[in-house]
Amino acid sequence: MTDDKTEKNELFDIFLPIFLEEVSDQIKGMFDTLNLIKNNPNDEKNVDSLFRYFHTLKGNSALCTLENLSSFTHSLEDIVGLFRDKKISYSQSWYDLIYDGIYLIQEAIFKIKEDFYSDKKFNYNDFKNKINEFINSNTASSDTVETFHTKEEFVFEQQEIEDYFLKYLTYCAYHATITIVDAETTFADLKMAAIVNRLQSYNISVLGTIPEINILGSDKYSYDIYKNELIILFEHTENANKSFEKVIDMNKTSIKSHDLSVVNLNQFLSGKRSFIKHSNLMFQIVVVSINSKKYAVVCKKIIKIIPPDNIRYFQYSNYNLGFVRYLDIAVPVISINSNNLDKILLFDTVSGIIGLFFDKIDYFQESSYNDLVLSLESNDFIYNYNGEDIKVLFIDNLRQL
């Protein structure tokens, strides 16, 4: 490992000289490629190439601790990315914006050459605002309605279980619960994918995973909902047991804890749960923490968790109500005792989509009215979560507030 002094020496003796030597060619490459795009905006190769120039400069400047430059380059990379992904089309104003951006990078590099620490003072804010305005006025909301599943359960048909028995001569399967380290909030799902892929690479039959394997690495995965827990159900053989231990060993850095048990597949027989799946009275209970207090929210379905950068328009009224733009409609958003305005939970109710500021989702599950109790003292409905009585919020009509 390196101490601070070695790190500083390496920065000034090795990395910065390489950076400065290469950056002039990179800037020239950016200008040249941008001009090629101007002559032929449909040539994807040039767009990819411009994207990569910004991508490389972003990484290299971050490595040299030029964080302001790196962040600014990232925003230019984003606009080129929008064009590459056909979310915006070519225009003179797009060209001008990129051109001015590269020019600003050139100016910043010139100053960094004179004084390394000038990066901290360099003012990109005006230009960044221009970029945000450009994105807002040139992109339509591209969100698609994607509802989250209720946290899945394993369900098998009778025939699937019998087929499994014929193959392995047992109804038993391994049930592994793996907790990914807390630091991996952004990439927990990919760490999970790496684990499942590795297990399958030993030709082990994976019967199911929670979250489902096709959710891992996709937009449907949300750390708020799935947390960092992976459950894998796989064949009950000696080879599988050994392979599982190997997979755990080679992913030790990513794994906080793991547990392996044996379950009988018959407990996941579909018929046993069908009365729950098809009941009309079902709704979801979402236990959220808001300013350290827990609430149980009743909803038809969780739709999405919106990070702050998805907020296009927001305004408080006297009643702490606001609106967020989602799918080009204004969705009412409610704030209850919330200091943290970073995340909005969008959920479907009988009267439409509603948003709620929250800090953390503690739990969510399909539920029924049998799980709610009316408190005669407070006249509130109460939901019992882990032994704690929690007030139930029925936010399906704003007039109720």
Partner 1 sequence: MAGILIVDDANIMREKLKLLLKRNGYNICGEACNVKEAVEVYKKTRPSLVTMDISMPDIDGIKGVQLLKQIDPNAKIVMVSAMDQKEMILLALKSGALNFIVKPFKEQTVLSIISDVLKSD
Q: Which two tokens stand for residue 155?
A: 């369900």
* Near partner 1 by CB under 8 A: residue from 31, 36, 41, 56: 56
Q: Which one of the spans 164-172, 249-257, 352-360, 380-388 is the region binding partner 1 (CB under 8 A)?
A: 249-257
| Under rule CB under 8 A, residue 251 binds partner 1 | yes
| Under rule CB under 8 A, residue 253 binds partner 1 | yes
Cβ within 8 Å of residue 122, ≥6 positions away: 68, 69, 108, 111
Query: Which residue number, 41 or 217, has a Cβ lying nearer to partner 1?
Result: 217
How far is it, in rounded angstroms, from Cα 367 to Cα 370? 8
- In the shown chain, the binding pattern of residues 326 to 365 toward partner 1, with x for contact by CB under 8 A and - for none, equals ----------------------------------------
Query: Which residue number, 194 or 341, has a Cβ lying nearer to partner 1?
Result: 194
Integer angstrom CA distances of residue 321 from 74, 316, 341, 355, 356: 33, 5, 13, 10, 10
- Nearest-Å Rg of the Cα atoms of the chain is 26
How far is it, in rounded angstroms, from Cα 256 to Cα 247? 14
From the CB of 70, what's the least distance to partner 1, in Å? 9
| Under rule CB under 8 A, residue 55 binds partner 1 | yes
From the CB of 55, what's the least distance to partner 1, in Å? 5
* Near partner 1 by CB under 8 A: residue from 36, 62, 135, 155: 62
| Under rule CB under 8 A, residue 198 binds partner 1 | yes
* Near partner 1 by CB under 8 A: residue from 193, 210, 303, 344: 193
Q: Which one of the spans 101-109, 182-190, 223-231, 276-284 is the region binding partner 1 (CB under 8 A)?
A: 182-190
Antiparallel, parallel or unpaired: β 321-326 and 329-334? antiparallel
Query: Which residue number, 19 or 358, has a Cβ lying nearer to partner 1?
Result: 19
Asked if 308 and 341 touch (Cβ cutoff 8 Å), the reply is yes
From the CB of 400, what's the least distance to partner 1, in Å? 39
* 171, amino acid identity: Y
From the CB of 246, what's the least distance to partner 1, in Å? 7
Q: Which two tokens stand for residue 135?
A: 């994105």
Cα separation of the two ends of the chain: 56
Q: Which one of the spans 58-66, 94-102, 159-167, 278-286 is the region binding partner 1 (CB under 8 A)?
A: 58-66
- Taken as a whole, the chain contains a residue count of 401
How far is it, in rounded angstroms, from Cα 45 to Cα 22? 22
* Near partner 1 by CB under 8 A: residue from 40, 158, 201, 279: 201
Long-range contacts at 59-62 (CB < 8 A, ≥ 24 apart): 60/19, 60/22, 60/23, 61/19
| Under rule CB under 8 A, residue 52 binds partner 1 | yes
β-strand partners of 385: 388
- Among 257, 229, 254, 231, which Cα is nearest to 174's? 231
Query: Which residue number, 52 or 301, has a Cβ lying nearer to partner 1?
Result: 52
- Among 286, 274, 278, which Cα is nearest to 348's? 286
- In the shown chain, the binding pattern of residues 213 to 242 toward partner 1, with x for contact by CB under 8 A and - for none, equals ---xx-------------------------
| Under rule CB under 8 A, residue 250 binds partner 1 | yes
How many residues in the shown chain lie near partner 1 by CB under 8 A? 35
List for the chain the helix, strand, coil content (%; round to 5).
45, 25, 30
Residue with tokens 């606009």: 79
Query: Which residue number, 93 or 201, has a Cβ lying nearer to partner 1?
Result: 201
β-strand partners of 284: 299, 366
From the CB of 292, what's the least distance to partner 1, in Å? 30
Query: Which residue number, 181 or 263, has a Cβ lying nearer to partner 1?
Result: 181
From the CB of 198, what's the least distance to partner 1, in Å? 7
H/E stretch holding 282: none
Contacting residues toward partner 1, per CB under 8 A: 1-2, 10, 14-15, 18-19, 22, 49, 52, 55-56, 58-60, 62-64, 186-187, 190, 193-194, 197-198, 201, 216-217, 246, 249-254
